[in-house]
């Protein structure tokens, strides 16, 4: 195996024996093969579109789910990955019959091996099969961005929203990573175009979420527990949460959010469920202790899964692109209701969650809520009460070096405001950093995809202050990344023209020195150093 797609990759170079995330070599290899056949089917769909032929939504959805399945910490289940490969090959064979011009097809679009051949084939199609390190770096940068884009599309699709242009681009770009005739310059251009569609994909999901559930609003979320048994729902899929809340209504079972599901509390729609109890725990990487003390069943709707301890493995369920061997997977076709009755019946027999903390956290500062506060925000900037906004969005992770972000938040001068999104917030959302004229010093927009809100807020401020360039705003960027959704957020920000983003705790291992240099030269991307020096440099 060779995998270097996430920030925790072994030795900051690549996981080769087993994943730091817990991914076994045979699963890592099979994910490579799933990406390969997904590139193959994308080559065929792209050719079909060029011939003026329609590609169905089902195929678009399949491609997105395949990529999502290979995101860090989403799916560890060999059998489910093998099944997706088989289904993709079968679908691709049918699409090939519709193709008029079958010349010049790459191996990925032709290969249709049987299951018994998957393991051998998988070893030949991984990251290292691209020999030139700069081409490899750009191909992977694009592929990881597309994985993030696919995840956001998938969530929008679950709410019955599709954007055919996003799907067509995603597949065209995926197919382009097979094309040996593309130069470094071509791939750099494609990287930026991926960022453009990253903005579109996040806009699609924002529209899907807000049209279904309303615009997030300022909300206090309880972080304690009640006396009833509970179900803990984690990951990012709001449609799964809606189905779970509908089915638990009146059963005496409470529903708690975990990690990236916390922002669900900010949407008006979910407030009508009186069994929607609060948020339990922290970011994904603390789940081993927190899932044990939760006592009830856990539903993982997406990443990030930590390989479960035996003490709660039989209480952990997966759905959608997520999967873990030995954990029950519950699913239904798009638009149909998933049956969570087994989880609810299990919950009824479990103890109520053990209290691990008390209090509340405040969030809900997505674009519409911040626009509603625009007058006081603009006033605070004009009077000098707010000197700087610090965008600290992204991911949390287990590396000790990430304590930097807690210390950085604490060390920021009192006239700065943190704008956050994603699970990165857990490093500072319980610090009680106070407020500036009633504006909290930590404004949480929501999940990682709600970084889109942060971009809209920046563009709005640019308009209000009548500036020509978003980089003239008193906003600095100190972003922490972990997995591939952060890659599409980064590419989206670059596409929007944002410069001088600090990225940590380490720069991606998949950036070759030359590709890193392109990002440094053109966009001023930089790493982090230490809190004291970075505060001096940024503030």
The contact set with ligand SF4 (CB under 6 A) reads 3-6, 8-9, 15, 19-21, 23, 28, 72
Q: Give the residue among 73, 93, 75 at the shortest CA–CA distance from 34.
A: 75
Q: Give the residue among 257, 308, 307, 305 at the shortest CA–CA distance from 282.
A: 257
| Kind plus residue range of the DSSP H or E element containing 495 | helix 484-495
Binding part of the chain for ligand FS2, among 32-40, 274-282, 346-354, 477-485 by CB under 6 A, reads 477-485
Compute the least distance from the CB of residue 71 to ligand FS2, in Å: 7
Question: Which tokens in the block code for residue 60?
Answer: 């678009």
Compute the least distance from the CB of residue 303 to ligand FS2, in Å: 4
| Kind plus residue range of the DSSP H or E element containing 38 | helix 25-50
Binding part of the chain for ligand FS2, among 192-200, 326-334, 379-387, 482-490 by CB under 6 A, reads 482-490
15, 95, 423, 518: which one binds ligand FS2 (CB under 6 A): 423
Binding partner selected for residue 395 from ligand FS2, ligand SF4, none, CB under the kind-specific 5 to 8 Å limit: ligand FS2
Q: Which residues contact 257 (CB under 8 A, 6 or more apart)?
A: 221, 232, 233, 234, 241, 264, 265, 278, 279, 280
HEC profile of 132-199: CHHHHHHHHHHHHHHHHHHHHHHHHHHCCCCCHHHHHHHHHHHHHCCCCCCCHHHHHHHHHHHHHHHH
Q: Give the residue among 444, 489, 520, 377 at the shortest CA–CA distance from 145.
A: 489
Nearer to ligand SF4, 23 or 402 (CB): 23
Supply the DSSP string of 318-357, one letter for each residue.
Answer: E-TT-B-TTSEE----TTS----HHHHHHHHTSPPPPP--
Distance CA 277, CA 255 (A): 6
Compute the least distance from the CB of residue 350 to ligand FS2, in Å: 24
68, 284, 452, 477: which one binds ligand FS2 (CB under 6 A): 284
Q: Is 36 in the site for ligand FS2 (CB under 6 A)?
A: no
Binding part of the chain for ligand FS2, among 51-59, 455-463, 481-489, 498-506 by CB under 6 A, reads 481-489
Compute the least distance from the CB of residue 74 to ligand FS2, in Å: 8
Distance CA 356, CA 82 (A): 39
Q: Is 303 in the site for ligand FS2 (CB under 6 A)?
A: yes
Compute the least distance from the CB of residue 72 to ligand SF4, in Å: 4
Nearer to ligand SF4, 5 or 416 (CB): 5
Q: Is 68 in the site for ligand FS2 (CB under 6 A)?
A: no
Question: Which tokens in the block code for residue 126?
Answer: 């991984």
Q: Is 391 in the site for ligand FS2 (CB under 6 A)?
A: no
Compute the least distance from the CB of residue 81 to ligand SF4, in Å: 14
Q: Which residue is nearest to ligand SF4 (CB)?
A: 19
Q: Is 448 in the site for ligand FS2 (CB under 6 A)?
A: yes
Nearer to ligand FS2, 303 or 478 (CB): 303
Nearer to ligand FS2, 190 or 423 (CB): 423
Nearer to ligand SF4, 23 or 258 (CB): 23
Q: Give the residue among 377, 409, 411, 374 at the shortest CA–CA distance from 393.
A: 409
Compute the least distance from the CB of residue 398 to ligand SF4, in Å: 11
List of residues contacting ligand FS2 (CB under 6 A): 259-260, 284, 303-304, 395, 422-423, 447-448, 482-483, 485
């Amino acid at each position: 195996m060779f995998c270097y797609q996430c920030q925790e990759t072994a030795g900051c170079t690549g996981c080769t024996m087993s994943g730091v995330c817990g991914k076994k070599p045979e699963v890592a290899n099979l994910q490579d093969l799933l990406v390969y056949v997904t590139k193959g089917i994308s080559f065929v769909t792209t050719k079909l579109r060029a011939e003026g032929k329609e590609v169905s939504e089902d195929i678009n959805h399949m491609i997105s789910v395949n990529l999502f399945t290979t995101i860090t910490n989403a799916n560890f289940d060999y059998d489910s990955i093998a099944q997706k490969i088989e289904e993709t090959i079968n679908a691709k064979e049918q699409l090939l019959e519709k193709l008029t011009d079958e010349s010049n097809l790459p191996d990925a679009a032709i290969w249709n091996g049987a299951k018994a051949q998957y393991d051998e084939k998988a070893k030949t199609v991984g990251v290292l099969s691209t020999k030139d390190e700069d081409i490899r770096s750009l191909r992977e940068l694009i592929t990881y961005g597309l994985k993030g884009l696919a995840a956001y599309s998938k969530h929008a699709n679950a709410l019955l929203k599709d954007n055919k242009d996003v799907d067509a681009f995603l597949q065209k770009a995926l197919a382009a990573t097979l094309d040996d005739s593309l130069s470094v310059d071509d791939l750099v251009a494609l990287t930026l175009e991926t960022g453009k569609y990253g903005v579109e994909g996040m806009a699609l999901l924002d529209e899907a979420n807000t049209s279904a559930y309303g615009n997030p609003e300022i909300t206090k979320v309880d972080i304690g527990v009640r006396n009833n048994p509970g179900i803990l729902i984690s990951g990012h899929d709001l449609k799964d949460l809606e189905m779970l809340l509908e089915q638990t209504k009146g059963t005496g079972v409470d529903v708690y959010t975990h990690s990236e599901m916390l922002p669900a509390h900010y949407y008006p729609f979910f407030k009508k469920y009186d069994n929607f109890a609060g948020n339990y725990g922290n970011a994904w990487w603390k789940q081993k202790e927190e899932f044990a003390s939760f006592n009830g069943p856990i539903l993982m709707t997406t990443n990030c899964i930590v390989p479960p301890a035996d003490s709660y493995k039989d209480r952990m369920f997966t759905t959608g692109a997520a999967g873990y061997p030995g954990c029950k997977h519950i699913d239904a076709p798009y638009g149909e209701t998933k049956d969570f009755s087994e989880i609810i019946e299990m919950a009824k027999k479990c103890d109520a969650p053990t209290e691990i903390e008390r209090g509340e956290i405040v969030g809900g500062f997505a674009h519409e809520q911040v626009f509603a506060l625009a007058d006081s925000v603009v006033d605070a900037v004009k009077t000098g009460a707010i000197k700087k906004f610090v965008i600290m969005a992204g991911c949390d992770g287990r590396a000790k070096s990430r304590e930097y972000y807690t210390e950085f938040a604490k060390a920021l001068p009192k006239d700065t405001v943190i704008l956050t999104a994603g699970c990165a917030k857990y490093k500072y959302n319980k610090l009680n950093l106070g407020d500036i004229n009633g504006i909290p010093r930590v404004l949480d927009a929501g999940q990682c995809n709600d970084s889109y809100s942060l971009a809209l807020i920046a563009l709005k401020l640019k308009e209000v202050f009548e500036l020509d360039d978003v980089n003239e705003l008193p906003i600095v960027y100190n972003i922490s990344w972990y997995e591939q959704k952060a890659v599409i957020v980064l590419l989206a920000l670059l596409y929007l023209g944002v410069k001088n983003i600090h990225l940590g705790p380490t720069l991606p291992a998949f950036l070759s020195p030359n590709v890193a240099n392109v990002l440094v030269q053109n966009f001023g991307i930089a790493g982090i150093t230490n809190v004291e020096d970075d505060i001096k440099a940024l503030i």
